A and B are shown apart, each in its own frame.
Chain A
Amino acid sequence: MNSAAHRPGIWSIRGPISQRRYWILAAIGLITPILAWWLVASTGWVEKVFMPSPGAVWDRTLLWATEDNLLQDTGISVYRVTMGWLLSAVIAMPLGMLIGTFRPVQAVLEPLTDFIRYMPAVAFIPLVMLWIGIDEGSKIAIIFIGTFFQMVLMVAEDVRRVPMQQIEAAQTMGATRAEILQLVLLPSAKPALVDTMRITMGWAWTYLVVAELVAANSGLGYAILKAQRFLQTDKIFAGIILIGLIGLLTDQMFRFLHRKAFPWMHKKS
């Protein structure tokens, strides 16, 4: 009867953990570095130029929002990231599906993509400036280059992971190739695809600062770079934290979408 006594502890491998414990630990994980930061900054061990206090960063953020154009900077950055990522997704989804489904397409495109994805996206900046110029298109292009090639391969892999039995069952029910793509491969891979989109969105954000190196005059990445020139360390902190928060927010949005759209994955007996 005393089964509780035999419940595996939280340190057993892949052991269970209660919701409450999980969130307490998560809060500790988030608060500790902030506390450490505040401690280091307030004791004055480190010069303000190198490490501003949380309070100073907060004040700077407010100043940025009221006197400067924090909103525009955030808006334009979100726009660039979204556009670069969306462009990637729109092309990578069908292409990846074809690579994961038809061997000839895989043979033609996968080794090539594998090769290109190892080229550093940053190194394309001069080329992009030469070809596209220095307007919005070039920033979107950098983010595109940074995410697209990885995304194609991940989408292909997601589609390849659909169990062969699901495909063959449809074939023996008389499904055509188009029907299998539409009624089996796509819905079966969809949860994995949403996860891929979530992960690549994170990468798109990491390429933002790189993209805004390209003669930008607005955006969070640009603001961070400019702040460095003026030794406004607090603004650098604010910018980085802001990007982190936006990333966290989109990530949670994707997870929420995942739970809503695929109840069959989350609903166990």
Chain B
Amino acid sequence: MDAQEVVSAAPKIRVRGLGKVFGEPPAEVRALDNVSLDVLQNEFVTLVGASGCGKSTLLRIIGGLEYHTSGELLADGKPVSGPGADRAMVFQHYSLYPWLRVLGNIKFSRRLGVNRRHITSADVEVAEGRADALLRLMGLSACHNAYPNQLSGGMQQRVAIARALMNRPAILLMDEPFGALDAQTREVMHDLILHVFRLERSTIVFVTHDVEEAIYLGQRVVLMAPRPGRIDTIYQVPFGAERNQDLKHTPEFLRMKNEILGRIRQTSGMETDTEMLQQLSRTTQD
């Protein structure tokens, strides 16, 4: 076994018995409890689960934007103690810099000290080339000179993704990045992000409330359950790297989708809700 193999076998992200408590007693909220998850190098993992089950919290902890209150978290074998350029985050919205044009947004990270130490003119050229390539990859060439508020929501998210990718982060964290987009735009974005994933060989953790999206994109779907937030089931997605929209209509896909949806319903305590609805309809009939 050579060294290369050992490195790639070690998980990119290691979460062990991780817990998160928000606030101080007596107003504590236990957002995560004993969460363990390994994300491998060049793996695409999606997180789904009922609202409030701690998906965002887990992602933000991995990103270093939130700290955990118990357990262990390693990225590339090193304990995470804050945000860093190795773990870029894409948000649902409001994260673009409205005063910068599209290209300025994409190249924002070039202005930061982490990327300016010991740079040569060759590095600058490479970066210019990469910014250009990202513009083309994301279909943004025509509007590289526009301001974010002149773009549609879908275009804005393309800019946000390109900006996050600019620096070649080892890990890409995405929190419902397409949550505010319409169904058609979303489908386009799905194929785009899969293309990026294959091209960039990055490691992606992707939070969504859309199960179809989770299966279509992920190699593994991690289902979380609420109160307290924990991992319920991890589904291995049996589809290969090459996927297209037709996949969504195959029986295998639909079966998996229904299974996960059913499980989310069980874990979220939706049953009690149906009971309540029946009660409601009974009282209104009287």
Contact = CB atoms under 8 A, between A and B. Distances in A.
A22 to B, nearest CB: 24
Interface stretch (A75-83, A184-192, A232-240): A184-192
B91 interface: yes
Contact of B99 (A165, A168, A176, A187): A187
A191 B82 CA distance: 30
Question: Interface residues of B toward A: which range?
Answer: 35 or more
B144 interface: no
Interface stretch (B2-10, B112-120, B226-234): B112-120
A179 B150 CA distance: 26
Given A168-B83, A268-B149, A269-B150, A174 B112 contact: yes
Interface string B99-118: 10000000011011111000
A265 B99 CA distance: 8
Per DSSP, are chain A's interface residues mostly helix, strand or loop, or mixed? Answer: helix
Nearest to B92: A165
Given A163-B94, A268-B150, A172 B99 contact: no
Interface in B204-225: none
Interface in B160-175: 160, 163-164, 167, 169, 173
A163 B95 contact: yes
Contacts of B111: 179, 183
Contact of B112 (A179, A187, A264): A179
Contacts, number: 89
12 contacts: A163-B95, A165-B94, A168-B89, A168-B95, A169-B95, A173-B109, A173-B167, A174-B84, A174-B112, A174-B167, A183-B111, A265-B98
Interface in B54-105: 63-65, 82-85, 87-89, 91, 93-99
The 5 A-B residue pairs whose C-beta atoms are closest, nearest first, are: A174-B85, A165-B95, A174-B114, A171-B83, A172-B89
Given A172-B63, A173-B112, A264 B98 contact: yes
A169 B95 CA distance: 6
Given A165-B95, A169-B91, A262-B99, A174 B65 contact: no
Contact of A264 (B115, B147, B167): B147
Interface string B142-166: 0000011110000000001001100
B179 to A, nearest CB: 13
B97 A166 contact: yes
Contact of A173 (B82, B85, B147, B150): B85
A267 interface: yes
A166 B88 contact: no
A170 B108 contact: yes
Nearest to B101: A264
Interface string A228-269: 000000000000000000000000000000000011110111
B65 A172 contact: yes
B97 A184 contact: yes
Interface of A: 163, 165-166, 168-176, 179, 183-184, 187-188, 190, 262-265, 267-269
Contacts of B149: 264, 267-269
B88 A267 contact: no
A171 B65 contact: yes
Contacts of A175: 112, 114
A187 B113 CA distance: 18
B285 to A, nearest CB: 39
Given A173-B85, A188-B97, A268-B150, A168 B91 contact: yes
A165 B176 CA distance: 13
Contacts of B84: 172, 174
Interface string B129-152: 000000000000000000111100
Contacts of A171: 64-65, 82-83
Given A168-B65, A264-B98, 7 more contacts: A165-B91, A166-B94, A169-B160, A172-B173, A179-B113, A187-B97, A190-B99
A172 B97 contact: no
Contacts of A173: 85, 88, 108-109, 112, 163-164, 167
A179 B164 CA distance: 17
Contacts of A265: 98
A172 B113 contact: no
Nearest to A261: B99
A237 B57 CA distance: 63
A170 B173 CA distance: 14
A173 to B, nearest CB: 4
Given A165-B95, A265-B98, A269-B150, A174 B89 contact: no
B83 to A, nearest CB: 4
B240 to A, nearest CB: 30
A269 B163 CA distance: 21
